[in-house]
């Protein structure tokens, strides 16, 4: 384990062609409590009583990656990865926070061609990592073999969003949107992050179509790309159609926008909605929630919530909202892990969610007024 700059000299010239374990072994506590969880009434009440705060991480921004982080710890990690690359290691091995065979993976090199390269990186289940660790402590020989086959497609570096709509009637030039991101991390299949959200939004639109009900405003569904790299798809769309957060010069469609709804917190049932500090919209949503109280949707939280695509709208003064969902196993098991697979989906929860989203979108499309807005924000410089 290389823990500080002094260890560079200690290991220099000894690592070529070797696998390097870069995290100390840790204890694995027994699971005396279930990893799955639904919000209690007390927890929901706590959310309702919270004050407005900035979105997580200070607002939308890229994931922390080597070469792009801040602080002494990240700077040391950058130097360590460069040292390993210069020394010609076969790969680095680390353990994530999971156990029971769950492997959380969220590391890698920078996404820009100008970012420095990094060595091959492997995240291993703690139980497997621990066995190798103990064998090495007893000076028993360990051999590893890794086969990596990657292909980089750099002919066209543009990605795409998927957009569909139901045309409106007497207010067809005005717009209500719903969306979810469809990109995911590579370890599983992205079922809970965020195929679940994408499927809910598609089903909500199908419900609206199947009812035959007319919508006054145009309803537009967007499945976003590039969310995991820093909400890139939704931010590009908002910049193109509504406003650029850097200069806040409003485009014509900014004034015609009614509201945006987002689902991106796994497979859990919707229990409420975050208001993003928009107090004026609270009585509107409170009324819309009434039919769904028996389905568990009871809470409005004034607080901001971050980390997903509604922030692109909120950043330019448009009403954008993320629903509160039961965590189920999202943080404990499936988020960015090898367990993010179809089998972890809760079908009954997703059916409820689609009905709730369809209702909120329908009401937004048909009410006389567009949803209330917060004051326009000031221009925001791009984060480095």
pLDDT for res 54: 59
pLDDT for res 96: 84
> In three state form, how does the secondary structure of 65-91 look?
CCCCCCHHHHHHHHHHHHHHHHHCCCE
What is the Cα gyration radius of the chain?
23
Query: Model's pTM, two decimal places?
Result: 0.91
pLDDT for res 57: 41
- Reported as half-sphere exposure (CB side, CA atoms, 13 A), residue 58 has a value of 7
pLDDT for res 71: 61
Consecutive H or E run containing 164: strand 162-166
> Which sign does the torsion angle of CA 328, 196, 307, 95 carry?
positive
Burial class of residue 16 (count of CB atoms within 10 Å of its CB; 0-12, 13-18, 19+): exposed
pLDDT for res 221: 99
Of 193, 204, 322, 221, the closest CA to residue 263 belongs to 322
Do 2 and 20 meet the contact criterion of CB atoms below 8 Å apart?
yes
Quote the CA–CA distance of 270 and 357 in Å, as a whole number: 9
Quote the CA–CA distance of 27 and 371 in Å, as a whole number: 50
pLDDT for res 72: 76
Instruction: Output the DSSP codes for 262-330.
Output: E--STTPPEEEEE-TT-GGGHHHHHHHHGGGGGGT--EEE-S---SSTHHHHHTTT--EEEEEE--BTI
Quote the CA–CA distance of 282 and 372 in Å, as a whole number: 9
Phi-psi sector, 319: left (phi>0), alpha (psi -120 to 50), beta: beta
Domain spans, the chain: 6-30+65-137, 162-366
CATH no. of 162-366: 3.40.630.10
Of 235, 305, 299, the closest CA to residue 264 belongs to 305
The one-digit pLDDT tens for each residue of the chain (384 residues) are 788 899 999 999 999 999 999 999 999 999 999 999 999 999 999 999 887 765 544 343 333 333 334 467 778 988 999 999 999 999 999 998 899 999 998 777 777 778 888 999 999 999 999 999 999 999 999 999 999 888 888 899 889 999 999 999 999 999 999 999 999 999 999 999 999 999 999 999 999 999 999 999 999 999 999 999 999 999 999 999 999 999 999 999 999 999 999 999 999 999 999 999 999 999 999 999 999 999 999 999 999 999 999 999 999 999 999 999 999 999 999 999 999 999 999 999 999 999 999 999 999 999 999 999 999 999 988 765
pLDDT for res 382: 73
Quote the CA–CA distance of 132 and 138 in Å, as a whole number: 10
């Amino acid at each position: 384990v290389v823990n500080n700059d002094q260890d560079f000299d200690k290991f220099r010239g000894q690592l070529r062609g070797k696998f390097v374990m870069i995290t100390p072994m840790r204890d694995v506590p027994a699971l005396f409590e279930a990893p799955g969880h639904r919000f209690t009434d007390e927890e929901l009440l706590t959310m309702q009583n919270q004050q407005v705060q900035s979105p997580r991480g200070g607002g939308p921004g890229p994931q922390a990656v080597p070469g792009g982080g801040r602080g002494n710890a990240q700077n040391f990690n950058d130097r360590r990865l460069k040292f390993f690359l210069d020394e010609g290691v076969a790969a680095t091995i680390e353990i994530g926070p999971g156990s029971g065979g769950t492997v959380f993976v969220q590391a890698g090199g920078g996404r820009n061609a100008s970012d420095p390269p990094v060595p091959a990186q492997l995240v291993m289940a703690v139980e497997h990592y621990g066995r190798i660790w103990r064998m090495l402590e007893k000076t028993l020989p360990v051999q590893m073999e890794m086969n990596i086959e990657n292909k980089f497609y750099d002919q066209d570096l543009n990605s795409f969003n998927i957009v569909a709509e139901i045309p409106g009637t007497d207010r067809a030039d005005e717009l209500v949107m719903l969306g979810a991101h469809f990109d995911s991390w590579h370890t599983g299949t992205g079922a809970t992050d965020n195929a679940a959200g994408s499927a809910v939004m598609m089903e909500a639109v199908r419900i609206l179509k199947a009812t035959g009900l007319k919508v006054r405003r145009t309803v537009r569904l967007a499945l976003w790309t590039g969310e995991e790299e820093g909400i890139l798809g939704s931010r590009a769309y908002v910049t193109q159609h509504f406003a650029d957060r850097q200069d806040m010069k409003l485009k014509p469609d900014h004034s015609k926008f009614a509201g945006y709804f987002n689902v991106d917190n796994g497979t859990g049932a919707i229990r409420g909605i975050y208001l993003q500090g928009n107090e004026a919209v609270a009585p509107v949503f409170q009324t819309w929630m009434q039919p769904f109280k028996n389905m568990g949707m009871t809470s409005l939280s004034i607080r901001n919530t971050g980390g997903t695509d509604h922030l692109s709208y909120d950043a330019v003064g448009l009403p954008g909202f993320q629903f509160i969902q039961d965590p189920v196993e999202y943080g404990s098991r499936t988020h960015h892990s090898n367990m993010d697979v179809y089998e972890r989906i809760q079908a009954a929860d997703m059916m409820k969610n689609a009905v709730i989203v369809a209702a909120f979108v329908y009401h937004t499309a048909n009410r006389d007024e567009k949803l209330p807005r917060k004051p326009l924000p000031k221009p925001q410089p791009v984060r480095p």
